[in-house]
Amino acid sequence: MTAAAHTQPGSGARFEWGLAGAAELSRVCAVLVVVDVLSFTTAVEVAVGRGTRVHPFPWGEQAAEYARRIGAVAAVGRRSVVPEQPWSLSPAALAAAPAVRELVLPSPNGSAISAAASATGLPVVAACLRNARAVGRWLHRQGYGTTHAPIGVVAAGERWPDTSLRPAVEDQLGAAYVLDALSRVPGGLSVEAALALAALASTPDVPAAVRGSVSGRELAEGGFAADVEMAVQVNVSDVVPVLRNDVFSAA
């Protein structure tokens, strides 16, 4: 198989997994859509909907230093939230915390993918179950989805302990909702995108599937069921966060 085939040529909407998949599609697509339902892109949708500009950042302790440098607030881990530092990757915590103008939001998956894609100069859209239809409509209005301006949809996935990619049910379903909104793009769907979309047909109750998934159960059992409940709300938001110049803001 040639390297060119990996980019799913000849289609208007394409689908891949993880950081490596995003890097491949970034070479040929006009826009990238990142889906990390639990919880980065859901957190971005919530924060941007409250007027916050979100700076994605790879997971690590350097986020606080970067935030100080640009005059922003740095989000902390879910379990590190205190009254003086209520901002975290938790969508529920972000919804309850005071709104800030600038927020640095690190995560090991969706944030790292978004930051890497932004470095290529591509616009990057944060999509989740909450805003999938709105994202699809915005992409249509911008003229994306032709063979000359293809859309790359990337399911972030999770990580195994050895850091290898673990495909995640919630991200495939989130991507499927975006692809459903793109099913009539002029360039059509690649085989990979069409098969990702097919997940919806076999999942009659998407919120229940996400709640029962490994990631959903892990969060709920860890005391963050409220994050799962926010994330499983389908098409309730018109917010379309677009990453340009290293910051997500409303389209």
DSSP element (H, E) containing 64: helix 62-70
DSSP element (H, E) containing 34: strand 31-35
Comparing CA positions, the residue from 209, 203, 44, 18 lying closest to residue 127 is 44
The answer to whether residues 228 and 239 touch, using CB atoms and an 8 Å cutoff, is no
User: Is residue 42 included in any domain, yes or no?
Assistant: yes
The answer to whether residues 58 and 105 touch, using CB atoms and an 8 Å cutoff, is no
Whether the pLDDT of residue 60 is over 80: the answer is no
Whether the pLDDT of residue 1 is over 50: the answer is no
pLDDT at 179: 97
pLDDT at 58: 84
| Domain of residue 31, CATH code | 3.90.1560.10
Comparing CA positions, the residue from 160, 196, 232 lying closest to residue 33 is 196
User: Is residue 202 included in any domain, yes or no?
Assistant: yes
Q: Which residues pair with 35 in a beta bridge?
A: 127, 155
User: Is residue 206 included in any domain, yes or no?
Assistant: yes
Distant-in-sequence contacts of 19-25, Cβ < 8 A, 24+ apart:
19/112, 19/113, 19/116, 20/165, 21/154, 22/113, 22/116, 22/117, 22/152, 22/154, 23/116, 23/117, 25/152, 25/154
% of residues, the chain, pLDDT over 90: 92
% of residues, the chain, pLDDT over 70: 98
Residue range(s) defining the domain that contains residue 192: 10-49+110-237
Whether the pLDDT of residue 73 is over 90: the answer is yes
The answer to whether residues 169 and 158 touch, using CB atoms and an 8 Å cutoff, is no
Give the mean pLDDT of 202-223.
97
Q: What is the pLDDT of residues 90-140, one digit of tens each?
A: 999 999 999 999 999 999 899 999 999 988 999 999 999 999 999 999 999
pTM check: above 0.75: yes
Give the mean pLDDT of 229-251.
97
The answer to whether residues 7 and 14 touch, using CB atoms and an 8 Å cutoff, is yes
pLDDT at 2: 47
User: Is residue 166 included in any domain, yes or no?
Assistant: yes
Question: What is the tally of structural domains in the chain?
Answer: 1
Whether the pLDDT of residue 52 is over 70: the answer is yes
User: Is residue 174 included in any domain, yes or no?
Assistant: yes
User: Is residue 41 included in any domain, yes or no?
Assistant: yes
Q: Which residues pair with 125 in a beta bridge?
A: 33, 242
Structure tokens at 130: 């909450």
